[in-house]
Every structure is written in structure tokens, then in C-alpha cells.
Structure 1
Amino acid sequence: MWDGEGREIRVPEAKVRALLADLLAHDGGPVSADRLIHDLWGDAPPGKPAGALQAKVSQLRRVIGRDRVERRPAGYRLRFDEGGDEVDAVRFRALVTEARPVRDPGARAALLTEALELWRGPAYADFADGPFVRAAAQRLAEQRLSVLEEQAEARLEAGDHALLAGELADLVARHPLRERLRTALMRALYAAGRQSEALTSYEDLRTRLAEELGVDPSPELAALHQALLRQEPGLRTETPPAPTTRASSATTTPTRNQDPAQHQAPARHQTAPAPAPPSTNLPVPLTSLVGRRQALDDLARLLSEARLVTLTGPGGVGKTRLAVAAATADRDGARSGELADGAWFVEFSGLRTGTSADLAQVVAATLGIRDDAPRPLPGTGPATPSLPHRLAAALRDRRTLLVLDNCEHVVDAAAELTELLLRTAPGLRVLATGQEPLGLAGEAVFLVEPLQPADAVRMFMERAAAATPGFPRDPEGPDEPERRAVDEICRRLDGIPLALELAATRVRALGVRELAARLHDRFRVLTFGQRGAPARQQTLRAVIDWSWELLSAPERIVLRRLAAHTDGCDLAAAEAVCAGDGVARDEVLDLGTRLVDRSLVVVADGPTGPRYRLLESVAAYATERLHEMEDLTAVRDRHLLHYRALAEYAEPELRGAGQRPWLARLDAEAGNLRTALDEAVRRAGAGGPGAPGEPGDPGDPGRPGEPVGSGRAEAAQKSGEPGEPGEPGKPGKPEEPDGAEEAEEAVRLATALAWWWLLRGRLTEARRSL
């Protein structure tokens, strides 16, 4: 649910969400109390069912507004505004109704796409199998499928078939017996020059129908099959549409301005065609590129030196935007003949998983390469060439630049295909984007950094001015409090362009000062992106969800536990805090390195070596996951014990000649030391940790370069001090916590920090802590 300003509304409890789903399924009609009680509790109602239902109604009213849930004699009902278009299902039906009479197929497809973009997931996802909403969920799912079929037919009619075949193949795999969907797929495959696959798809359906239902395909589908065999000319769109500016993964289909036959080997009865003019399907940006002048210069140099350049960086940092700008500049500045076959943008985000053959199919469709393209030369590939080998053969003599976008979720397949293409086609260059490198020999990796503070402010101001009439574009335009608020917004959003764009759309409703004040709850505030943007870029949460879903379970554990640190940590602390259930201590370094490669963890120099830090939005997301999925007490135990050990080891060193490196080390850990002390004080006040738990091995940071677990803390552990492990790596039994023991823990840490506070003049912090 979202409110009128696009902020997500979370309904807190399963029974309350079930109540909302039940009322929504009745389209504003009343539902009796008895029916609601049965739907919510089934055959095991609470002792006072009427009172329990009223409590759930009250909870729902507090979330969505008291006047939204009405009590009528016939029961409870949801009240909608006139027309009901605040409900996605109602808006969906209205857009579909508006689209159907439109004669222009492109316009009709655009309206149907807009309707489909309202779907954020399965209808009634949490309760779709519940008997009280099952019929409504199935009805909506069927309506969506029918509209997907209509949209596919409209796109085919408009000549937009390049990526449609790949999209339809996924739908057909999930709904293999839907003939209308199969018809659209067969036509799209044939129009993309993949006749053999279209005929294979028909045979697959015919076999399924015979084996599962004992029937034959419909006469209409059989007639299409015969038309494909005869290669009737009316089945193929000869003139592709002009490039579209609609920026949606569901609708943006790379187009071309030349017939795909121009890329084929000449038939025996033809003369060689004249060279085709340079072609491209690179998207045309709708907004200015801010703060990337140096990056574009660096990329131009890399593209002139390396055949494979990969842009990496965190989600939302602008990898795609920069890649398109670099490819456009490369195409426009190419010497005569250097890019004779143009620059092409290939989008992989529609493939959540895939093999190199799946990716090759997308590339071939984008470039208009047909099934009858040139075969590999003898001895250069398998006896029966696969689609990737046929694609490589078709590109063998071309001079072109491929932009392979969003490789992170198919990185292995993308690497396999890219290596084959580069090895086969000497005139090919590849510019890839992803959250990690492809890992190929000769690859030049370019890290796309967040914007510098001044550039971040300029971009935010430009986007906010575009979305909010009267808002100044000049960074010096606002008054001093607003300038400070803008600076804070840009700093807290880490200079990530997508996050800044999402924030800019909220200025009209909130103003910059209120927006800055609400960023502590950023995932509820930044929930409304530009219409037509891919779903993964519609909200800040969706941006990070996209990266999270690509992680293995151990990688997720380490990312969650890293969020327990404040302002980053060194390797010793990461090993001490992140090791535990699900992750061994000796695995932390490799898993942390994987997170760095995936652009979720930032590495910076520290006094004892590298420090690992999370961007603020990633840290907020990982903290949420930590609270949802971890034993917080165990993680906090390890954090507290590690930093207490560090403070106790450092305390005598600060009194000697070698105090300088230790001061630097404690300065770097100031945030973590404060967090650890706050936790110790909290426990002392609460009489113990939030929940009993076995602390893991906190180790000891020791001296720079020493392994965690050595030194003073190890000796203390072996002495059997309360609450600490008896031996490094072997958890001891913590004694029952009580208020006195927890207070002693807090005093130990404060005492160990006293000399550091004094040397650094942190007297206010010392007084507050003591």
C-alpha cells in the first residue's frame, strides 16, 4: 500500500493484512462480521471473536485512516474515493478499457503497458491461497494474462518484436497450454528471423495438448503453423519501428534503422549490397548527465585501449547512464569504418537467470541476426553449432560496440558469451555494466563512484526544480537552512544518483527541510520513482533488494552483521563480529571480498590496513535485515566484547612512546567504541542483555598485523573471566547476567577509554558516558 504522496504504508500484522485483503476482495461491498471472523480464524476463533475482530479493525483504521473502514448494518466495507482509481486493480481495468478501442497499435501497446506496470507482484500475494480471496486473486491473474496477450499482439502489430520473443518465452514456460500466448510467441520468433524456434514451439504445444488433454491445437494455430512453413510474407514486419523513448524494461525494445538482411551474407543470386550506414539503438537520455565529465574522459581512453570494459558500482550509481553516454561519444567520435556496424544496447535485466544461449538469443534479437546467419568456419566450433557460436560467427566480420547492461544476475553466462564473442570477432568491442566484474582476461574494470558533494547537490537541485515549480535550480538559490538541508540529503544518500532522483520527487510534497528530517526512515520516504522506470528503480528499497537477491546465504549473513558496526571496521573486527552461526571465522575474508566485488561494501585505507564500510542506505537496509533475521544479542555480544578488548589492550599503550598509532586506531574506531559503550550502559540499566545468548569468539584486535584472538584478551579469556569464552574459538558458558555484572562491564570499557578521552580532549563524551 502507498499513500497519496507515494510513501509506502506497512500494515503491521498478518491478521490485519488478511482483514484488508478480505475487504479489498469485495470491491467496496460490505462483509458481515461472521464472515470476517471465519475468514480470519477459520475453525479456531478466539474466545471473544467479535471483540477480536473489532481490535483488528481498529488496528487497520490506525494505519489507513478511520474513515476508510466503515461499519454498516450489513458488515464492514472499505470506502474508496469516487471512481475508485486509488486502487490499482480499478486503475488497471480503466486503462485496459481505454486502450482497447485505440486503433494505433503503438499507442494501444503503450496504454496496456502502463496498465501492466501497476502490477507490483501477484495479487493478494500473502493470501492468494486463502479461500476468502482465492477467487479474486485468480480472476485478477487471468485478467493480467489476457492483457499481456493483448499487449504482445499490439507490439507485434507495431513491429516491435526484437525483445518480445524473449519476454514471451518466459511467459509460455509458465503457461504452456495458452494458445493465444503461444501464437504471439510463434509470430514474434518468426518476425525476429527465428523460424526454426517458432516451428519447435508449435510442436511442443501439439505434444503437450495430445499427452495432457488428448486434443489437437486449434484450427487457427494450425493455420499459423502452415503459414510459417510456407513463409508467407505477411507474417514478417519488414520495417521496424523508430526507436521509442519509453524507458521501461517491459516496453523498451531496442530498434534499428536498417533491414536485418543487410547484415546477412549475400545469397548466391545476389550481388554484394552496399555498406550499411552506421546504426544504433542507444537510448536517448531525457535528463542531463551531471558530474561525469572526468569519468567520460577516462572511459574514452579505456575504450580505445581495451576490447572489454566493465563498469561496476553499487545499484543506482548510474552505470547504465554513464555507459550509454560513453558509447554514444565513442560512436560519434569513431574514425571512418571503426564502428561501421554501429553501437548497440543490449538489456539483460529481463533475464533473472539464464545461460549463455539465453543471452545470445537476446543479443541476436537486438541486432536482427536471423537463424540463417553465417555458420562458424570449419574447425572453429562444435559440429552442431550452438546459438552462441552462430552469433559469434555472424559477428565475425563486424566492427561494432556492444553495450551489455545489467550483467550482475547472469554474470557467469555473460562472461562465457562475452569471451566467445571477443575471441571470434576481432572487430567487436564490449562495454558491460554490472555490480561485479566479468572476471575475464584483458578486462578493464572501471568503478563508477558516487557523485562528489558539489555534483550531488547540483543534480538534486536540477531534478527537484524539474519536479517542483518555483524551486531554484541554482545551488546558491535557497536560503541558508534549506542549503544545509540539501547538503544533508545529498550526504546521507551517499551521492547515489538514483537515490537523489527519488528524493527530488518528494520535494514538492515535503520541502527539503522536512525531507531531510525524514531520511531516518528513508525506505518509507523514497518510494515513488519516475513512471516508466524499471520496477527495480521505482523505490530505494527495490534498488537494494535487487542486489540482496543476488547474494548467497553466507554473503547475506556477513552483510547483515557488518551493519552492526558504526563508520566501518577493520578486518579484525569484521572477523570477530561476523563469524558465528552460518559463517566460520576463516570464511569472513573471502565473503567480505565478494561483497566488495559486488559493490555493496566500500574499502578505504585505515591505520591498521583496509577498513570496510557500508554506504548509509545499504547500512540502513542491512540493519533492517539484521533485526528481522538474526539473534541480535549474539551479534551485539561479539561487537561489545571485541571493542572492549581493543580498548583494554590499547589503554597501557597510550601511556608509552608508541601511543601515536594507537591513538589513530582508536580515532578510527570512535563510532564503534561509542556504540559498544552505549550497549554496555543499556545492558547495565536493563539488568542484562536483551536476551540470553552464547557470545561467539570476539577475539582481540591485538597489535596491527596480529591475528584476532592473540594478546591480552586471549589471556583474559583463559583466566575464565565472567561472560567471555574460555578459549579462543571455543565458546565458554556465560554466567547468568545480572545488573551488577553488566554495570561492571560498562565500567571496564569506560575505564579503558578514559586515557584516550583525555588525550583527545573528548571530555564531554567522557562525562556523558560516565
Structure 2
Amino acid sequence: MDSEIELLGPIAVRHAGNVQHLQSAQARVAFARLVLAGPEGVTRDELADVIWPGSLPPTWASALRTLVSRLRAFVGALQAEPVNSLVKRGGRYVLALGEGVLVDVEDATRSVAAAHEALNAGNVAVADRLATRAADRLRFPFLSEHEGGWVAERREHLTEYLVTALEIASRAAMWSGDHARAALLAEEATARAPERESAHRCLMAVREAMGNRGEALRAYQRLRRYLAEELGVDPSPETEAAYLALLGPSSVSAAPSGGSAAGHRPVPFVGRHREMATVADAWARAARGRRQFVLVTGESGIGKTRLLREAGAMMAAEGGLLLVGRCDEGAMAPYQPIVEALDNYVAASPDDPLDAVGPAARGPLRQLLPSLGGPCLPGELPEQPVLFAALTQLLLAAASEQPCAILIDDAHWADPQTVALLRHLLRTTTDARLCVVVAARNDLPTSARRRVRAGLDEAMLPVEHAGDGTEVALGGLDLDSTRTLVHKLGTGAVTDATDADPARRAYSRSGGNPFMLLEMLRYQAGLNAVPPAVARMVAAKQAAIGRDAARLLQVAAVTGPSVTFDAVAGAAGLDVLAALDALEALLEVGILTEVTAAGSQHPDRPAIYEFRHAVVRQAVYEQVSDARRRHVTSRQRTASGPRYDTDLSSC
């Protein structure tokens, strides 16, 4: 670099160790206009309008000639040899700068673009360095003493670049684990551009990565309120999708491994066309004024939360109001998911939401909703009928403004009071523009599953009878969907190059369970290994099913991918009734499944049970000690009944 022109902050020209400044405000704005015009140049009138915005002085033509003459002398400092760099060509003033001249504005904007490319490529350190350098430049004011249309437009343009640089640096810092710095950068971005939704989404992501979901929700609420008050609009579908993403665990808290962004590339949504069509149909009926209820069920990791997110994004894109809540195991807050959903609506409302409800409802709502001063202790709350009536009024008020969707995740952890409130809302909102979508696991141990499912079935029954309710039971992805997923993620997602058909291999071992499938595709040890996240999930299931069921499960894992009851019951050392209870527990939580290989036309043959997911069998097998494996094998050598292959490599 031979010379540098600084347009941000005090305008200066640096050349050969010397620094020169323009003293006249008119000369500074004219110089900036000529520099940024590039080889296209500017007309005499365009240059005059920038120098004298509003109205031209009577002698502006001669004044302009004098100013251009001064600028020629000033620009001459950039040249090694005397040359006229400011010329008039084709009726336009053109400032011809040499190739070795760097302009700070152009360098900063190029750095932002390069930082964006680096972040997309997973080069976090490079993205952070480029974005931080650009932001440091762009924070300086541009022609702070001057006004006019061109200057204002250019400032707005540079502010957009600055906010983009802050967002990139924030995300890079977040992926590097520097959450405190990431939060400061994201806060600065939202302060400089409060209407820019991407900056708020960045802040939401940082707060979520810090483990502070409440602050992430408040960032969304501030944005929603600002948009409503200042612009009279709702957040974009992309922002609503980010809001919905707070339903599930954080997916952005770690840096991309190995310099690749593949681990953080958004996972494509595939293979759920029929299920999404069911939800879309219910939403369409709700938007026409008939309350709908959709119960989404499936095993752990099957994609219930993702379906809720995609459904919510679809509803938001069609003008729906999203109210999102989640049940936590052992939650202390009363009516947690519905209160959470309505409280987010209240906190983000630009008007006083209590104006839309009757006087009798205002006191209970203040006692219950955190944004209105609650919640008070459960023992100090009004009785259920009073609370239910108040919450129903608030929900109906929300649904009267626009079609409304309540999305509740992890409903298998709902307490009886929450289920009772859900039943009340479904019963009292028949003609509201309301769609309630609830997701719950169906692979919990018997006692918990029966309690929760009984309550949800009770809520579903009258709605379903009226034609306004449906259950969406999620199964595993099929092979074609698995291939599509692998293709869209890119070849870098498949780490086992020794397998001729890795997509089929991953599908057969995962049973199409999206969580297991993705973990296997990304695990560096290859498709034949058990990813740590899958092993932890299996261990958690084992801990929840009881001692006898866990013992029977271990015997089944050692025995083979297919087993009979007699073959495993005896080796587990359980009597018949205890073994039957254990087998039923394994079937209920979905670890084992009964297959029809014996054939219904031969009722005398024993039923055969298989592991639903081969990778689960391997995870259990690897947790069994060598001594126990030898003991099981020894007992089965003397047991009657069929024997099965125990080679895990065929799983």
C-alpha cells in the first residue's frame, strides 16, 4: 500500500509517512463524494448538491471551480510524480486514484464480506479478525459535521455494514466460547439498529448459548414490542423460527470442529410431508375460526421438537401469532407451559394487555404472569376456576387479533394442573382462531407414561370426537429421506469412507431415528461406533426402566439382534412373571419390538423380539462387563430354544 485515504473520522490522506487534512467542511464532503464515486465520477450538479444541500448559493458555479482547484492540489500529495488526478471527463468530475491507494471505507466493506464468507466456511478465527477490524473502522463517524441526502444515505449504508460486522464478530466469539464478548457485540448491534431483526436473533442465540433462555426470550420480546410500536409490524418468519428454536437445546454454543462448519450447518427438514400436511390442515381450519388440537407423539429423538418448529414457522409465515411454552421435568412454576406462552405475548405487547380482559381477570393475571409482577407462591394463587377463566380471556383476546397457535413441547412432563388447564382451554375456545399443538414422548416408563398420556387422551377425546383433534405419530425416517438428508448435509457429514453405502448403513443401524442418525453421521469414529450422545441417551433409558428390565435388556443385547422370551428370561435369572413385566417395560419404552417373523399361521412358535435400533443394542452390549457376557453365554448354551448370532458387526 503506497497511500491511504481515511474518510471515517477526520478525513485525512496518508502518504510516505505524511498526513494531510482538509480544513474546509465543503472540501471534505466534496472529496468524499469524488473518492466513493470511483471511475464513474459525478456531474457538476451532483457535486454541487452534495456540497450545498437544500439550496445553491448564487455564485455556486465559481465557488465549485475554486473548490475543485483546491482539491486537485490536495490530491496531488498522493502521487509520486506531478499529475492531474482530478479531471473532467464527459461532463463528469473523475478522481483517478492509483492502484496502490487504499480507501478505508472500501477496505472495511470488503473485510465484512470476507468475514461473512469465512464464517460460512467455518473459519471462525479469520471471520472474527476481519469483522473486528472492520467494526473498529466503521465505528468512526462519516462526515459528522455535514448533512444532506447523499451523506445520510451513505451513513445508513455504513451502519448496515457495521451492524453486520458486529453480528459476525459476535457469532464468531460465541462459537469460540467467548460468550461475554459475544453478548457485548450483539447488544451493540441491536442498539445501533433496533429495527434489524438479524441483530436481535444474534443476541437471542448468544443468550441461549450462555444458558440463559429467559434473557433470550426477553431479547425477542423487546424486538417484538419495538416492531409493533415503531413500525406496526410483526417479526419476520425467520425471527419467529428463532423464537421457536428456543424450545429445544442449544445448537450453536460450540465452535465448528476441525475448521469445518458442517457440524453447525442447519439440519435439513426432510421426510415429514404427510405430518406437516396434517398440521397445516389443522392450522387452516383454526384460521377460519374453529379451534384445533394436534397431539404429536413419538420416541425420544424422533423429531417432535423439529416438527413443532417447522409448523410454527409455517404458521408465522401465514400471519399467525405464536405462543410457545415448554414443560420441564419437576417444574415448580404452576401451569408452566401455558403461563410461559401467554407471558411472552404479554411482555412483547406494545399495549397494556389487561385492557382486553375484564376487571375480574386482571388481578389473577397479575398474580400469575411474571411480566405483570407474578408469579406469587402457589398457595397464594386464586382457585383454579378463577385462574382458568382469566387465562382463557387473555388467550381469546390474543386470538381475536390474529389467528393464534399455542405450541407446547415436552408435554410428557406436564403436571396434572397443566393438563387440567389445557382441557379447560380446549373446551372453552371452540369458536376461536386457535390451534394448539402439543408434543409428547411415548417411550417413557409405564407409570409416568400412563399418567401423562391418560390426561392428554382425556383432553383429546372430546375434541377428536368433534372432528377438531388429531394425533400425529412420528416414526423413523425412511431410507429415501435418509439419503436426502445425507446429500443435503454434504459428503463431509459421512465419516465412514469404507462403507459402500453409508446412508443405508446409518439408516439400518438407527432405524431412521433422526437424532441417532445425525449423531452417527457426524461421529468421527465411523458408522460402526456408538456416538457418545447416543450412549448417554441409552444409559438414561436404562436407568428409568427398573432393575429387572435393565437386566433383561443386557441379556438380550448379549444374546443377539433377535431373541425369544424363553432364551432371555432364563439367562437373566428372573421368574416368569418378573420377566414378563420386564419384557413389557422394554416394549413400552420402544427399545424392543415384537416382530411377526414367527408367522401368525403358526401360533405354536414363540414370538421373536428385536431391538428397534441396532445402535442401541450395541450401546447396551458395550456397557455389559466381560464377566457378565460370559455368564449369559454359558447359561444359554444349556438353555433350550433357538440361538441367534451375537456378532455386532452385522447390526
**Bin of the TM-score, shorter chain as denominator length:** 0.3 to 0.5
Higher strand share: 2
| Higher RCO (C-alpha 8 Å, min separation 6) | 2
Taking structure 2 as the reference length, the TM-score comes to 0.33
Q: If you compute each CA radius of gyration, which structure gives the higher value, 1 or 2?
A: 2
Higher helix share: 2
Taking structure 1 as the reference length, the TM-score comes to 0.28
